[in-house]
Amino acid sequence: MRTLEITLLEEKYQHIQEEIKYGGRTMLEEETLGGYDISLHVGVPNIYTYLEMNYINQVDLGEVEWSFSS
């Protein structure tokens, strides 16, 4: 099985964690259920790739490095 590996800077990782916490609190207050998605956008391989997270807000996490491994 192949694995998709996305390398994040610590600040981007922390941003994701904070967004998950904020979304969880907001959904709890509004008594709603939902999930989040993380999208890897690849325009031209190895030139410009960015990560985006959708939960309560849409968050553009900027450029990231990624690769497939076995």
Sign of CA dihedral 62, 40, 11, 56: positive
pLDDT of 30 > 70? The answer is: yes
User: How far is residue 39's CA from residue 60's CA, in Å, rounded to a whole number?
Assistant: 10
User: How far is residue 45's CA from residue 54's CA, in Å, rounded to a whole number?
Assistant: 23
pLDDT of 39 > 90? The answer is: yes
- Give the predicted TM-score (pTM) of the model: 0.75
Nearest in space to 61 (alpha carbons), one of 5, 13, 4, 2: 13
